[in-house]
Amino acid sequence: MPELPEVEIVRRSLEKKIKDKVIKKVLVRNRNLRFKIHSKFERHLYKKKIKKVDRFSKYLILIFEDMAGFIIHLGMSGTIHLRDINKKNIFTNTSFYYSPILPKKHNHVEIQFDKIIFIYNDTRRFGYFSTFNNKIELKRKFSNFGPEPFSNLFNIEYITKYLKKKEKNIKNFLLDQKFVSGIGNIYASEILYISKINPIRKAKNLTKDECKKILLYSKLVLKKAIQKGGSSIRDFQNINGKMGSFQKDFKVYQRENLNCLKPKCKGVIKKKIISNRSSFFCSFCQK
């Protein structure tokens, strides 16, 4: 599933291509995604101008001039393709998952602008679209989410207070969108490795200094991943045919049985299943 950095890259691709464009036509080929696309979806979008392409956590937010709009969650396999009507695109994918070329099947939603067609493809159909009519409704959509790692609300006071007396392990908290929004399995492993914190440590046992490390490295790891174009876990590319390269900087993720990369550390990277997710950590330096 795309995490915050990958969704941010998609957002930037869309911002360049469809901002200030007017929607000319909407075609829903399959309404049966994770949540069924409602019958008024086409009417909600028709003739609206895209004023802003925003993002919160792992969600894309497309906002119209009247502050209504719609939200897209890519789920496990959702991809967005932009096809130029007047050109034969070599690469159409705005993200780094699955084929960079528009597949022939599973194109569930098409949104047409003057010269560009926005196509949502999803083989497993775990993604979804959700509409809103104003800022209040949009805010309500994310009322149960915690702050993003880049938000000023995600600070040391918030972290220490939230984790105080919590029995659950810290890896699960980093994946809990009610605690912090946007961090997924890959980046949680990387953040804890750099912080030298074992993923199975109970949250209540973390020191204030360790909480400061989580605060610092959450921001740094995600920022670096965005700068690197996200993580292309499989050999696929973005809309310009360029791969995200953060996977080359993985310090721990998918490095099971390899030596720890920290200087003078004699540890070996281990893999442990935590809440049905693969966690990677150093057996020696992550305490």
List active site positions: 2-3, 58, 277
Neighbour-count burial of 197, counting CB atoms closer than 10 A to its CB (0-12 exposed, 13-18 middle, 19+ buried)? buried
Cβ atoms of residues 39 and 129 within 8 Å: no
3-state SS assignment for residue 119: strand
Residue 92 has φ and ψ, to the nearest 5°, of -120, -15
How crowded is residue 58: how many other Cβ atoms within 10 Å of its Cβ?
A: 21
Structural tokens at position 42: 């086409």
Structural tokens at position 161: 């207070």
Cβ atoms of residues 79 and 93 within 8 Å: yes
